[in-house]
């Protein structure tokens, strides 16, 4: 039984827990199904997919019956695959691993070697699938999870279609595609066309695990289920919005991918723009996947195109040099294994964006993301306008700080609002105080657990639609091309690891009389 929180009077979580049935917030167990993982010998399967499926099983949310077929080029037996996945799960849950639970779960794991470009291996996969579906009684419901490098997406999708594995004949066929969905507008359109040739849009789940975070999902609830906020959620009351996704980590083992991607492709086209859309969208007529995604696409269409001839007023990019993180010296990006010593790949970007619609006219959205920054943080900060008339001016010299509403995505998931309150004991003395709601100590599914569960349930709310992908690439492709064309090796590095980013990013706001929130 999944459990939900009781809240104390301060808005923080109390220790007592009640069941989800009592609170009226049930999590439905999906219908029986199979998951076929392409790229099952890879890092994503070991770090995220199998541990997430194991945890869903351990908390009684996995369907019954259920099984997994892992596929990859590597030659493995079923027992080899199970042994490898056992080590991965033990590493993911060192304190919560259960030998008895694993014994039951591992009996659902199978392996089939495949050559991604060879059609006859898909026929072998189909035969194994049919045999296991008969053995387990899963009714033909299947999820194909592409945990492969993006270069392999298209041959897998095409061969699934040719082999008839995408055809729904008695059960659903869902395909999960990880980001990146293309590397520019042209490649995104090509991939979407390839998907559409074998699957319908209803079958396609383009995954962005940021959307599955509890606090990201809560943005819509917070905005549209509370009547005190929506009336002031507009340019009349809001001065500007800051969206931040910072990381203390460097590129780690992803240099090969990151050298081709950079921060704008890696973070802005998907995660950052999705947070922007949820913050800025109009209320849908119905809380339904397509209605919500319709409104998000309208936001993307309203974003003012970047002025490519005057980018310095809208965009700042950076690349980290050496520095200190948590008291330890770390190397520069160009010294990372697999990175060119003259790389012009940005690891930091700050963008100033305007939405050309009635609600947001004149309200700038400042977006930033980077690696090797001073802290790991993801948040949306709504900065309200100052009070129109300061009646305390005779007693307060420094003025009053405008209210700020903080939607914290990670790591301290929750919501906080800064407001002014009288200092006790004084006649007229104000202090800025924080009213805080925190999700800490509450049971939550993580991003991968949530998207796997939603895919099994056929809920596309947290997945990105083809028109949304293409609209964001249409905005960012000219910007990326221009930045690449203008960049020179001596432009980087321009910020120390452990700092808050390039100095020019501070100027982006200072010119408007504003400052970034501290990292």
Q: What's domain 211-510's architecture?
A: 2-Layer Sandwich (3.30)
Please determine, for residue 5, whether its predicted confidence score (pLDDT) is greater than 60: no
Please determine, for residue 425, whether its predicted confidence score (pLDDT) is greater than 70: no
Between 59-63, 67-71, 480-484, the lowest mean confidence (pLDDT) is in: 59-63
Which pLDDT band, with edges at 50, 70 and 90, does 28 fall under?
Answer: confident
pLDDT, position 391: 64
What's the chain's average pLDDT?
A: 89
Please determine, for residue 21, whether its predicted confidence score (pLDDT) is greater than 60: no
- % pLDDT > 90, the chain: 74
Which pLDDT band, with edges at 50, 70 and 90, does 393 fall under?
Answer: low
pLDDT, position 11: 33
Please determine, for residue 1, whether its predicted confidence score (pLDDT) is greater than 70: no
pTM of the model: 0.90
Place of tokens 């351990």: 58
Q: How far apart are CA 113 and CA 152, in angstroms?
A: 15
* 52: helix, strand or coil: helix
Between 2-6, 30-34, 251-255, 287-291, the lowest mean confidence (pLDDT) is in: 2-6
Closest CA to 297 of 271, 273, 265: 273
pLDDT, position 17: 27
- % pLDDT > 70, the chain: 91
Q: How far apart are CA 322 and CA 497, in angstroms?
A: 5
Q: How far apart are CA 93 and CA 119, in angstroms?
A: 37
| Residues 60-68, mean pLDDT to the nearest whole number | 94
Length of the chain: 519
- pLDDT tens digit sequence for 292-301: 999 999 999 9
Strand order in the sheet with 320-325: 328-330, 320-325, 495-497
Domain ranges of the chain: 31-178, 211-510
Closest CA to 216 of 472, 450, 456, 469: 450
* Active-site option among 271, 354, 383, 418: 271
Pairing, β 142-146 against β 173-177: parallel
Cβ-in-10-Å burial (0-12, 13-18, 19+) of 42 comes to: middle
Q: How many CB atoms lie within 10 A of CB 288?
A: 13
- Superfamily of the domain at 31-178: NAD(P)-binding Rossmann-like Domain (3.40.50.720)
Please determine, for residue 7, whether its predicted confidence score (pLDDT) is greater than 50: no
- pLDDT tens digit sequence for 164-186: 999 998 899 999 999 889 999 99
Handedness of CA 21, 27, 32, 35 (dihedral sign): negative
- pLDDT tens digit sequence for 448-466: 999 999 999 999 988 999 9
Catalytic annotation present for 271: yes
- pLDDT tens digit sequence for 104-154: 999 999 999 999 999 999 999 999 999 999 999 999 999 999 999 999 999
| Residues 210-218, mean pLDDT to the nearest whole number | 81
DSSP annotation of 306 reads P
Which pLDDT band, with edges at 50, 70 and 90, does 83 fall under?
Answer: very high
pLDDT, position 412: 85
pLDDT, position 434: 80
Please determine, for residue 20, whether its predicted confidence score (pLDDT) is greater than 60: no
Which pLDDT band, with edges at 50, 70 and 90, does 423 fall under?
Answer: confident
Contact yes or no for 63/29 (Cβ under 8 A): yes
- pLDDT tens digit sequence for 311-343: 999 999 999 999 999 899 999 999 999 999 999
Between 36-45, 63-72, 79-88, 418-427, the lowest mean confidence (pLDDT) is in: 418-427
Which pLDDT band, with edges at 50, 70 and 90, does 397 fall under?
Answer: low
Q: How far apart are CA 358 and CA 351, in angstroms?
A: 21
- pLDDT tens digit sequence for 364-382: 999 999 999 999 999 999 9
At 130, which helix (H) or strand (E)? helix 119-136
Q: How far apart are CA 261 and CA 395, in angstroms?
A: 54
Please determine, for residue 16, whether its predicted confidence score (pLDDT) is greater than 60: no
As given in the structure block, the two tokens for residue 7 are: 């809240």
């Amino acid at each position: 039984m999944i459990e939900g929180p009781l809240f104390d009077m301060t808005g923080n979580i109390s220790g007592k827990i009640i069941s989800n049935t009592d609170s009226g917030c049930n999590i439905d167990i999906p219908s029986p199904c199979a998951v076929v993982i392409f790229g099952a010998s890879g890092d994503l399967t070991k770090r995220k997919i199998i541990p997430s499926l194991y945890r869903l099983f351990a908390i009684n949310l996995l369907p019954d019956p259920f099984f997994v077929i892992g596929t990859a080029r590597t030659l493995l037996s079923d027992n080899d695959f199970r042994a490898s996945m056992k080590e991965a799960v033990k590493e993911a849950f060192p304190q919560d691993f259960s030998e008895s639970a694993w014994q039951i779960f591992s009996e659902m794991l199978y392996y089939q070697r495949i050559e991604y470009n060879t059609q006859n291996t898909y026929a072998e996969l189909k035969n194994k699938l049919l045999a296991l579906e008969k053995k387990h009684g899963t009714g033909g419901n299947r999820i194909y999870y592409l945990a492969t490098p993006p270069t392999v997406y298209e041959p897998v999708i095409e061969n699934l279609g040719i082999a008839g594995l995408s055809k729904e004949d008695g059960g659903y066929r869902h395909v999960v595609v990880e980001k990146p969905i293309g590397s520019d507008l042209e490649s995104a359109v090509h991939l979407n066309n390839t998907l559409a040739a074998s699957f319908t849009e209803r079958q396609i789940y383009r995954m962005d695990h940021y959307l599955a975070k509890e606090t990201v999902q809560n943005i819509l609830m917070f905005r549209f289920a509370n009547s005190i906020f929506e009336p002031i959620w507009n340019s009349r009351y809001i001065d500007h919005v800051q969206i931040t996704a910072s990381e203390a980590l460097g590129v780690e083992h992803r240099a090969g991918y990151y050298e081709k991607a950079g921060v704008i492709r890696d973070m802005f086209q998907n995660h950052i723009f999705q947070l922007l859309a949820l913050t800025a969208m109009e209320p849908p007529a119905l809380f339904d996947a397509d209605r919500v995604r319709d409104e998000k696409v309208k936001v993307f269409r309203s974003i003012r195109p970047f002025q490519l001839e005057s980018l310095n007023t809208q965009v700042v990019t950076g690349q980290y040099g050496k520095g200190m993180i948590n008291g330890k010296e770390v190397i520069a990006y160009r010294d990372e294994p697999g990175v060119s010593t003259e790389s012009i790949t940005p690891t930091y970007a700050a963008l100033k964006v305007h939405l050309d619609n009635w609600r947001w006219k004149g309200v700038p959205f400042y977006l930033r993301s980077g690696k090797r920054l001073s802290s790991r943080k993801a948040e949306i900060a709504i900065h309200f306008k100052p009070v129109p008339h300061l009646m305390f001016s005779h007693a307060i010299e420094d003025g009053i700080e405008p209210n700020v509403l903080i939607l914290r995505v990670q790591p301290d998931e929750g919501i906080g609002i800064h407001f002014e309150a009288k200092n006790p004991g004084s006649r007229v003395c104000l202090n800025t105080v924080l009213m805080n709601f925190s999700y800490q100590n509450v049971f939550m599914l993580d991003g991968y657990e949530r998207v796997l569960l939603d895919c099994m349930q056929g809920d596309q709310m947290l997945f990105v639609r083809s028109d949304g992908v293409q609209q964001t690439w249409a905005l960012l492709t000219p910007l990326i091309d221009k930045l690449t064309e203008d960049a020179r090796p001596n432009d980087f590095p321009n910020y120390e690891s452990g700092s808050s980013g390039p100095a020019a990013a501070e100027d982006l706001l200072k010119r408007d009389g504003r400052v970034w929130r501290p990292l």
